Structure formats: C-alpha cells, structure tokens
Amino acid sequence: MRRAAVKAIRTSLLSTVRGFRANRRGSFASVYNRYYPGQSRHVSSSSILRSPPRPVVPEYVLREPIRSSMYVRRASIAVVSALVGYGAWYSYSGDNSSQVSRAYSSQTTGPNGATQTRTVLVIGPDELRTGTWVGEGPISKRTSDDGRKMVEMLTPEQATQKLRKTEESFFVNRGQGVVRYDMMQLPSNDPIEDDHHEAIVEYSSPGTEKVAPNDWMFWGVFDGHSGWTTSNKLRQTLIQYVARELNDTYLSAGALTPSPEAVDAAIKTGFTRLDDEIVHQSVQKVLKSNSKAVAAQTLAPALSGSCALLSFYDCKSKLLRVACTGDSRAVLGRKSQSGKWTATALSNDQTGSNPDEAARLRKEHPGEDYVVRNGRVLGSLEPTRAFGDAVYKWSRETAERIQEQYFGRRPSPLVRTPPYVTAEPVVTTTKIEPEQGDFVVLATDGLWEMLSNEEVVGLVGKWIETERASAGSGLNKQLNAVWTRAFGSPSQTLPVEANTATEGDDGQKAPFRTRQWGTSPESDRFVVEDKNVATHLIRNALGGKNQEQVSALLTLPSPHSRRYRDDLTVQVIFFGYGEKTGKVVVNEEATASANAPLKAKL
C-alpha cells in the first residue's frame, strides 16, 4: 500500500537528449573501466519518446532521468519505459570477482559472431536512466559509489511471462448467477503485502433441507502495510468469521429472510470480532505466556496492518454486499441504454483525505487538532479503517508495556484517546442483474493509482468485445451468450460512459501515476493481449501499448519499484447464467499453471 505522500512530477519531451558523459561521476564508462580495465564498452541512449534527429553526441551517453515520486527538486525529465526486474539483473562483488548472478539470459553475440546490444537501466536513489550496453561480459550491479545500480531490462516476452505468472481464472458452473471470475497479483514489495481469498458456502434455510442449497459466494482482497502478516491472517480467517455470523443471523430468522440491517450488522460483527482477536486477545495471550517466541508469532498481525475489501453475493436474492475497511475499491460495470457501460463505485476510499472520514474522527476525538493531519491519522497512517495497526488502538500503557517487555515501536506522542483506527467496514448493497451481464472489479489501491473507475470498466468492456469476437467452442460459449446480449459491434474507444463529476469531490483518490510517469492519458494507449481480464487490467495500468514502459515497470527490482507502483491485486467477477454442473473449473487458457479442476470451497 502506498504510504508516502506523492508529489506529481512534470515532464517534457526534449528534442535532444543531454548526454551523461564519460568524465562525469557515475558514468557507465568510468565505472566499467574501473572494474574491467582494458575492455572497451559502448553505452548509448535510446529514446522512448519520438524526437527529431539528434546531433552527434559523445561515446558514453545516457538518457535524461525519470525521477521517482520521492524526488522533490524541479526538473524537466523524459519518461523511462524500460527498466529491469529482480530475477533479471546481474550482480558484481569486488574488483576481481567473476561470480555473476543472472536469471534471464540475453545473447551478447549474434549468429555470425556480431556483438549485440542490451538495454540497461541505472537506478539511483532519486532517478532512473536508461541506455544501451554494447559488448560482452557481465553488467555490473553497482555503478558508482553513490549507490546507483545498473540492471538489464526484460524483453517484452519476459515481461509478459512475469506479468502472467500468478494469473488465475475459473468457470463457475453452479448455475446461480456467476459464470466466471479472474484474479491476478503483481508484487512490488518483497514479499508482496497483498493477499486474497475466494470461497463458496452452501446454505439451506430451516425447513428447506430437501431443496437445493443456496450459494453464498465471497471474494476478498486484502492490502497489507508495514508487512504481510495481517493480510495473510485475513486470507486465512475473515470469510470464516463473516460466514459464521451470517449463518447465525439467517438461522435466527427461521423461515423468514433477515432484515437488511441484520445482515449488514452480521458482516460488521465478523470484521470487528476478528480484529479484536488480532489486536487485543493476542496481547492477553502474550502476557499470559511471558514468552518472546509466542509474542513474535502472535503479535505480528497486530503490529502490521491491512485494509480489507470483501464482497458477499447471495445467489438467491441476487444481492451483492461489499464491505470495505480501508482504501481498496469495488466498481460495478453495467450496460446502459446508450449501449456503453457505466461505472459505479460500490465502496468509498476510507482515508484521512475523505471528508466524511475526517469529520468522523474529529467528532470521535474532540479537541485533538492533529487527529487528522495531512490526510493521515495522527499525520502518519493513510487509511482511517484497517485491521491490525495496534499502535493506533492500544492504550498508551499497553503499547509501552509491549515495547518494553517484547518489541514494537513506542506510541506517538499525539496518542491521547485511542482507538483512532477501526476495522468496522462500511457496507453497501447492490441488486445484481446477471441476465444483463453485470461485472464487478475488486482491487487494492495500487490499481486505482493508475486507472480511473471509468477506465477500468471501459477496459473490461473492450476485453469483452475482443473475447466475444474470438469466442470458440467449449466453455467460452456460455460467456459468449451472456456477452452477445450485452454488446453490439466493437467500438474503437473504451465503451464506457464519461464521468461528469470532478475528480476527488467524492473522497475517492484520483489516479496520479500517469502524471508521475509522464505518459499520455489518452484512451488509445490501451491494448487487448491477455486471456485473463485481471492481467489485461494490470497490463494497461502499466502502459498498455507502450511495451517498453510495461517492461520497465515490471522489471524494476524491489525496493526501487515501490517508488513507481504499489502491490497490485485484482479480481473480476462476471455475472450471468451458464452451464450448471455444480463444479468450479479452471479456465486453463487464462491460468498460469493449469491445476487439477477445483471443487467449490464449501
């Protein structure tokens, strides 16, 4: 999750590229000659943005840098769209070491013995520079004494392989209003702090045991911060806690249907009971054991934190409830009378920048001027609702005792009346229209930093057009039948209604990464290349048609990648009525590794 304030960076296209010459500190030439004396190497720039012919430049030239969101000095820069990733870079240790670590291999000589070039990136604390490396031998990891590193860029093919590494897709042949869902994750942190979980629960009302059970379907995305342990805990237990509360609520209603308020309350209770176990019951367990080993295992989910976005679809009522704790987001795509899709947010970003959330906190903590500062809780934590984050929930006495006896950080001097953060979600309810081909996108905030709600829905609509046009035999037929009713002839632009509201007026965070990267916001930058729609969304979020930029953002190693993109987790659920076999089947053409057919998680 993005936890640092971001400053938008202005970019400009330079008609000529100013060289980073050999006699300047940290140049490729000076570093390589220092490590490999007597060996000739040539480095040149390769502009991603088209510009007029350049004059003759010195032998060693690098592109003007792209600066990260952490860089605050004003500068004219050119966008980098070619970087390198972890698993694809060379490491150099010592002046005479011959050990080279490399996961992806690039040929340095052609079939006739001709020397080939390799695209490289120099990563600095505050900037990136790209160029071309001509010659054989290893590429040095460290290029200067100021911490800059040089890495080799993934090819478009390798970038696609990495992009599709975690994609999953399933056909839901239950005949209860859901036909398919796709999922994909892309890490930026190492290890990734996001997580996810999906489950189907069969439920039979009292007195209806002889009737086929009703499906409760759950999808959840969990955006961790300050570590991965809290989001991992949510993956293991949150749906279980919520399903248990829902079961008790429906049983209490007998043959009747529980009231909407009772169902919402059950979901909220599931969230808050789990958070109480994470934050407060864990402390009692640790103090009772008086063991640092127990403390290390038990307190980890309390000391880190996670947002949670959980959707609950009751197939009988066709009601979709979305419970949001934090700033992940759910968006509904629905066909309008104009023939285009409309994008409707099913959740609000719960951050200190949301006026409603800021007002709630100030009301709960009167007289504390810094309860919300710079859009953050106590000037530090961006989400106003989250699991874990115990330092904002424990009393000062508890926090200090845990810190003194075991570990952890001391509470902020601003802490006066905790808790300041709650795990209680805001729940929305939407009537789904499966026969109209509705779909829902759930994603952690990393996606919404790059794309707007309308762009996401339009991209899914464009993907549906392409899939419908190429639908063949087998399981795709059931989707084609749903999508044929939803779409007419393919369009040249994104088939989505424009948003007339002003960005940010509703408290939702607006995309800023394209401004940071300096890329065009025009819709013609998008492309359809993937069978998995979640992968399709992430590819276009990273650059779409601009393959160099996609490769760049995919191959930048952690922790440097965190300046340019967040962890990404995306789920897309397609509603409709298709084949009814009672099974959940792996969609092999949209899944990275074709596993054995899955059964519903009952």
- How confident is the model at residue 1, as a pLDDT? 53
pTM assigned to the model = 0.79
Q: Which residue has the tokens 């025009």?
A: 522
pLDDT for the residue numbered 266: 98
Q: How many CB atoms lie within 10 A of CB 102?
A: 14
Q: How far apart are CA 3 and CA 134, in angstroms?
A: 39
Listed in sequence order, the residues at least 6 apart from 351 whose beta carbon sits closer than 8 Å to its beta carbon are: 327, 357, 375, 376, 382, 383, 384, 507, 509
CB atoms within 10 A of CB 277: 16
Q: Would you state the structure tokens that stand for residue 116, as one six-digit string?
A: 């080939």
Rg (CA), the chain: 26
Token code pair at residue 302: 């309390």
Residue 440 phi/psi, 5° resolution? -130, 135
- Looking at this protein, which amino acid is placed at residue 514? T
Instruction: Name the residue among 555, 419, 534, 482 with its Cα closest to residue 130.
Output: 555
Contact 41, 29 (CB under 8 A): yes
pLDDT at 161: 95
Asked if 224 and 306 count as a contact pair (C-beta separation under 8 A), the reply is: yes
The answer to whether residues 509 and 423 touch, using CB atoms and an 8 Å cutoff, is no
DSSP code for 591: -
Residue written as token pair 């980890």: 300
What span, in angstroms and rounded, lies between the C-alpha atoms of 558 and 223?
Answer: 17
Cβ-contact 516, 67 below 8 angstroms: no
Q: Check: CB of residue 394 under 8 Å from CB of residue 283.
A: yes
Q: How many CA atoms lie within 13 A of 97 on its CB side?
A: 13
Tokens 């000076």 found at? 30
Give 441's DSSP letter: E
Residues of the chain with pLDDT under 50: 2-108, 473-475, 486-489, 595-602
Nearest to 567 by CA among 226, 187, 190, 159: 187
- Provide CB contacts within 8 A for 144, sequence distance 6+: 25, 26, 31
Q: What's the pLDDT at 591?
A: 95
- Confidence at residue 594, expressed as pLDDT on a 0 to 100 scale: 53
Rounded-to-integer distance, Cα 1 and Cα 566, Å: 6
d(CA 218, CA 600): 11
